[in-house]
Structure 1
Amino acid sequence: MPAEILDMVEAINDALGRLEDALEAERAFTAEAAHALRTPLAVLSARVAQLRDLPGAQPLRDDVARLTRLVEQMLSAAQADTLVVDPAMQSDLAAIARSVVADMAPIAIAAGRQIAYEGPDACPVMGDADAIAHAMRNLADNGLRFTPAGTEVTLTVEGTGRLSVRDHGPGIPASHRDTVFKRFWRGAASDLGGTGLGLAIVKRIAEAHQAEVGISDAAGGGALVSLQFHRPPSALPPDRGLLPGLRREAAGQPA
């Protein structure tokens, strides 16, 4: 190979190495900065809580809550960046979804919304249960922010290994469906307390699982965000669609 070509290859490899080092340094800084902020924010939150009904206390509490959420999401983003999924690991997508619905039911009810699970009793997929649950929580939280009061966020699992989260909000325009996965892009969520990291974390977790992510318009309005996971090779032929035996669990339904 000509010397000038070898020199060019070495230069490209050096540049790629420096880029990788820079990205790793950025990830490390993000994680360290978030860790460093957790304790002072916890102290500040405790002190603000003592203010109780003093004038101006509630906006301050809201600001501290937003900062705390941002720090936690920054840590989650740093962890998602380094996520490596054991290719032999299996999880039950249906069980994870039911658990997420149960965990988030109090949040939904307090906000005047409903959250529900629809799908089979079990659905084995390839993947890390904790990471998948984290992605689901981010999708459900995002849905609860956008769905109007009195409406439902639904987590649906299909036997094919597909998870869908739908809300009844304004939907996501086709022109924004790639942009929403970028870090710190908030769009309409800037008025709803979003950090701009939730969907970026979902995207990274999906990539670590080699799962497909899709956004579409939900029937009747709203957004439908889906994750298609891989089924274990030994799994039975998938249960196509939501057939008899479908389980539905809902929280926050009107009495």
Structure 2
Amino acid sequence: MRLRSLSSRLIVYAIFGSILGYLTLPPVVVGGVLVSGFPGGLGSLDDLMRPRVGSIMLAALRKGADGERSIAMTDELRQFMSANPDFRFAAFDPRTGKALPGSAPELTKAFEGVGRLKLFRSPIEIAVGGSLRHGESAVFDSPIGEVVIATYGAKFQWRDFFLLPYRMTSIYGALIFLPHWAAMCLIALFVVDRGLAPLRAAATKVAKIDVNSLKERIAPEEAPSEVLPFVEAVNKAFERVREGVERQRRFSANSAHELRTPITILRARVGKMEEGPLKSEMERDVLRVQTIVEQMLLLAQIEERGRIAPQKIDLYDVALTVAADYVPIAIGNNREIQFEAPSRQVAALASRWSVDSIVTNLIANAVRAEPEGGVVIVRVLPECAIEVVDHGVGVAEADRSRIFEPFWRKDEATPGTGLGLAIVRELVDLLGGEIRVEETPGGGATFKVRLPAAGVEPGEATEAVALDVQPFDQRCERSA
């Protein structure tokens, strides 16, 4: 299984490398040092045979039923002597200095008369045939008791080099390395966490980039050199996306602008037709096409304008004016509009034409969704928000993030152009507000738009915040 976490990979690689180094590097380094520069040259490599010689000799020690100890010629010892003809060995009782049966005469003679042997490990030199032989004696705690083993003549061979990791390692040595491995794991976690911090910061910045902020880029100077190519590739990708979006916007705006004149001419010609069902249907179709074109042009203009300069406006007046203008259309479709608002001014930081367009599109959407004979509620809230409530089929939870996409409709039977809510979303974002859709109690959809509040100026009424619901014609008189 492939590890996805960079920290996990680094830890695994570090531990694997440490184990590999623990098993292979010591003999390689030791061998290289001894061959190249250590006093004694290649002959000093014979010292690397100590662990193997010791294990062979300990395995050859025996103790009889009478308690007498001796050295047996085991198969391993015989093979080792065949590979090392000059190899000699002996074992002694450290308390008496007496050689055990099976010991080489050369070593027995050399230690004769020494008596009690107290040295733990000591190099030895023995004259054999007029030449000195170098070896070693050491005290071992063997299965048959404490013994002194003396040897010489074990020669290092390169075939033994590859067995050095096995002979030089031990569980004790591995335990010594455990703190080292633990420290490496902690260091790996720290290094990865610190090293990826700029990448996480870049990811956070990228996550905030949307179609309205495609000019944003990741600062290359903040990225590590290892991920700099990735950062540059992401920046270039954003640049290509920005250019494509701008071309699409220009195309939409130009297309909508070019279509206005033919549609106007078509509408004029339809108006000259004789009255009848055909004329009514064609006028309705032409109006629908004109609405789509006008909304496309408005959407393109919104995107070109960018951030809207806010000014203080009264949400009550804007929402009331739009609702009053839409009453005839609602009545013509056998629907009603009810307006609710607090009795005091609700000041917002926005532009009047933007809020006008927002409320218009929300009311148009609600009137289409409202069942015949139903009531669409337009509500201004004291917390600088506007709600438009319908009692239709509502918006499914899965569709609530998609309804603000341009030209999105649930199905072909759904009325409308699919641009109204996209325009609302664009305007709300440019004003620095927020919009959400909720389920209307009893069924339907409630669209709530919250805009930045302008605050209350000195001398303005602040005590009345209850919603005022009056017959719609009374508020029309108030707005006049």
Query: Which category of TM-score, normalised to the shorter sequence, fits these structures?
Result: 0.7 to 0.9
User: 1:1-255 maps to which residues of 2 (within 5 A)?
Assistant: 5-53=227-275, 56-82=278-304, 83-87=306-310, 89-120=311-342, 121-187=344-410, 190-191=412-413, 193-233=415-455, 243=466, 246-250=468-472
**Conserved in 1, the CA contact under 8 Å of 2:318 and 2:352?**
yes
Instruction: Name structure 1 gaps, 5 residues minimum.
Output: none
How much does 1:55 deviate? 6.9
- What do the CA deviations read for 1:215-251 (whole angstroms, capped 9, x no partner)? 111123221110111212556899799616x253526
Q: Which has the larger radius of gyration?
A: 2
Query: Mind listing any 5+ residue stretches in structure 2 that lack a counterpart?
Result: 1-222, 474-480
| Closer, same or farther: CA 4–41 of 1 in aligned 2, 3 Å | same
Call closer, same or farther: CA 1:173–1:7 in 2, change over 3 Å. closer
SS at match of 2:320: helix
**Range 10-19 or range 158-167, more displaced:** 10-19
Task: Give TM-score scaled by structure 2 length.
Answer: 0.48
Are residues 199 and 162 of structure 1, via their aligned partners in 2, closer, same or farther at CA, if it must alter by over 3 Å? same
Q: Aligned pair in 2 of structure 1 residues 240, 108: CA closer, same or farther (>3 Å)?
A: farther
CA pair 241-211 structure 1, distance change in 2 beyond 3 A:
farther
1: CA distance, partners of 2:251 / 2:379: 37
CA displacement at 1:192 relative to structure 2: 5.2
Give the structure-1-normalised TM-score: 0.87
CA distance in 1, matches of 2:394, 2:464: 23
Give the deviation of 1:209 after TM superposition. 1.6
Larger RCO: Structure 1 or Structure 2 (Cα < 8 Å, ≥ 6 residues apart)? 1
**Match for 2:384: what amino acid?**
G
Q: What secondary structure, in the 3-state scheme, does the structure 1 residue paired with 2:372 have?
A: coil
Query: What is the CA-CA distance between 1:10 and the residue it aligns to?
Result: 2.9
Check conservation: 2:348, 2:455, Cα contact below 8 A: no
Amino acid at match of 1:143: A
Distance (Å, rounded) in 1 between the aligned partners of 2:362 and 2:389? 9
Q: Deviations over 1:162-212 (max 9, x none)?
A: 110001211111121111111111125x43540001111111111112212
How far the C-alpha of 1:131 sits from its partner, in A, is 0.3
RMSD of aligned alpha carbons: 2.5
**Alpha carbons of 1:4 and 1:20: their partners in 2 closer, same or farther (altered >3 Å)?**
same
CA distance in 2, matches of 1:54, 1:162: 44
Find the aligned partners of 1:241 and 1:165 in 2 and give their Cα distance: 22
- Given residue 34 of structure 1, which amino acid in structure 2 is its aligned partner? A
Cα distance in 2 between the residues matched to 1:147 and 1:116: 13
User: Is the 1:160–1:239 contact (alpha carbons within 8 Å) kept by the matching residues of 2?
Assistant: no
User: Would the alpha carbon gap of residues 193 and 156 (structure 1) be closer, same or farther in structure 2, given more than 3 Å must change?
Assistant: same
Aligned pair count?
A: 248
Q: How many Å separate the matches in 2 of 1:238 and 1:75?
A: 40
Worse overlay, 191-200 or 157-166: 191-200
Q: Is the 8 A contact 2:347 2:456 kept in 1?
A: no
Return closer, same or farther for 1:240/1:214 CA change in 2, 3 Å cut-off: farther
State whether residues 370 and 391 of structure 2, in contact with CA within 8 Å, keep that contact through their aligned partners in structure 1.
yes
Residue by residue over 1:99-141, the C-alpha shift from the partner in whole angstroms, topping out at 9 and shown as x without a partner, is 1111111111211211121102420011111101101100000
Distance 1:241 1:164 in 2: 19
CA distance in 1, matches of 2:224, 2:399: 46
Checking the alignment, whether the CA contact within 8 Å between 1:170 and 1:223 is kept in structure 2 is yes
